[in-house]
Amino acid sequence: MKNTDMNLREHWSTLDQLLTRHQALWSESVWANPTPNWANAYSDLFEQVIGVQSTSDNQLIHSPPHASWLEETDFKARQDLIDIQTLSNANRIETSFNNLSNRAFQGIKGRKIEQIKSILSLLNDQLPVFEWCCGKGHLARLHGRAHSLSGMGLELDPALCTTGEELAQKQGVELSIRSANALLDNSPLPKHHQIVALHACGDLHTHLIDRCASEHPAHVTIAPCCFHRSVHSTYVTKSTHSRTSTLLLDQSTLRLISEETTHASAREQRYTLQSQLWRLAFNVLIDSDNYIPTPSLGQGDFKNGFTHFVDNQLQRLSLNRVFTDQELTQALDKGRSLQQRYHQLSMVRQLFAPALELWIVLDLAIYLEEQGFYVKVGSFCDKQIAARNLIIQASHS
Ligand SMILES: C[S@@+](CC[C@H](N)C(=O)[O-])C[C@H]1O[C@@H](n2cnc3c(N)ncnc32)[C@H](O)[C@@H]1O
């Protein structure tokens, strides 16, 4: 199955069909049940997955979505799952930007520089940038500097606005960043600017898309992210074309997409695993059938050991219980095997994350197409540079 010859609607519809056919595999959170509801219907897949043993903690975290187990195993739905992987690869857009020296990027971290360079190379070099939810306005400033243009931005945090304007001034760029809440601000999008939004979260990018639909700016470039950051508890499709879908992407599914990240350091990964294990072991101790969410742990919380963590949680839940050392050790052992099981199940669910993300991004793109824009969707950098690497480019005559 090839996705290169498909238009946006065909691509979305093919993804929608496959995601609908196998929604049992991704719609249930792996934390809900060590024996998932799909275990019977996909018994061959279930057997294969629970046979995959991780040999190290690192492997537990990095059960990669394109894991070799998919190539090496045999189960009825296998070809569909392989097709889903192929379909979730958006076309890579050619990017190359060498218009500025490294000094211009001073103060920006490595991966962010690469993201910004890729996006700069996709922008119209005649039109100034209006950057939506711009932080310090790096894109607007650097685009202005590269092409001797001014720029504008909108940002909630006044401190970022000030820093952004100061940075621009130092580089001789005329940049004004307005401090406002993008969701409430009614000022029209500036007429003679191209609109750019890099990683404006959830409702912030959908709101911009609504604004573009009504105001029709000439050029729009949006890299969406954090789809779970929304007032809606499930994803609300935007395009008329997508209304045919029966899929429901709830918060757990939307978070699954955002969790696919490449940025965690080895130490952060160790903490994540430790925190998961303790939370699971705590649930075992208090015999909870339902996973009781515990607040996230800071790195300092690990210094005092598991017993201290248990005491804190008991206090938080006003539970009057005392556990022996043996019970604590047994709970940790059981927690470990549950953790292994959840990671085995995650291997299946994670396979769907890129497809679900593209399904959403295509819906947003098709919506803009329905509003008269000419629209392209692709990836602007490798996943190692930005986990959220999809971009929508829309233009209007
Ligand atoms: C993930 S950051 C991206 C910043 C910038 N585009 C970049 O890529 O460096 C999201 C930005 O949106 C801003 N933001 C959050 N809520 C906002 C709102 N309601 N209105 C305007 N900006 C907002 C945040 O302060 C933050 O700077």
Is the minimum distance from the CB of 204 to ligand 1 under 6 angstroms?
A: yes
Long-range contacts of 148-154 (CB under 8 A, 24+ apart): 150/174, 150/175, 150/176, 151/175, 151/176, 151/193, 152/128, 152/176, 152/177, 152/178, 152/190, 152/193, 153/177, 153/178, 154/130, 154/178, 154/180, 154/182, 154/185
Which atom of ligand 1 approaches the CA of 184 most closely? 19
Q: Would you write out the chain's pLDDT as a tens digit for each of its 397 residues?
A: 556 668 999 999 999 999 999 999 999 988 878 899 999 999 999 998 888 766 555 555 544 444 567 877 889 999 999 999 999 999 999 999 888 999 999 999 989 999 999 999 999 999 999 999 999 999 999 999 999 999 999 999 999 999 999 999 999 999 999 999 999 999 999 999 999 999 999 999 999 999 999 999 999 999 999 999 999 999 999 999 999 999 999 999 999 998 766 566 777 778 888 888 998 899 899 886 666 666 666 666 777 899 999 998 888 888 899 999 999 999 999 999 989 898 889 889 999 999 999 999 999 999 999 999 999 999 999 998 999 999 999 999 8
Domain 102-253+353-395 adopts which CATH fold? Rossmann fold (3.40.50)
List the one residue out of 295, 289, 291, 269 whose CA is nearest residue 280: 291
CA 221 to the chain's CA centroid = 18
CB 179 within 8 A of CB 133: no
**What are the angstrom distances between the C-alpha of 119 and each of 229, 346, 370, 392?**
23, 32, 24, 11
Q: Where are the domains of the chain?
A: 22-77+263-350, 102-253+353-395
User: Which of 118, 131, 133, 157 has most ligand 1 atoms within 8 Å of its beta carbon, as the pocket-test mutant?
Assistant: 133
Is the minimum distance from the CB of 351 to ligand 1 under 6 angstroms?
A: no
List the one residue out of 228, 144, 160 whose CA is nearest residue 152: 144
The rounded radius of gyration (Å) of the Cα atoms in the chain is: 23
Residue nearest to atom 19 of ligand 1 (CA): 181
CB 100 within 8 A of CB 145: yes
Assign 226 to helix, strand or coil.
coil
How remote is the CA of residue 204 from the centroid of ligand 1, in Å?
8
Question: Hunting for tokens 């294969």 — which residue is that?
Answer: 48
Query: What span, in angstroms and rounded, lies between the C-alpha atoms of 296 and 288?
Result: 19
- Does this model's pTM top 0.85? My answer is yes
Residue nearest to atom 3 of ligand 1 (CA): 199
How remote is the CA of residue 31 from the centroid of ligand 1, in Å?
31
CB 379 within 8 A of CB 362: no
Residue nearest to atom 12 of ligand 1 (CA): 133
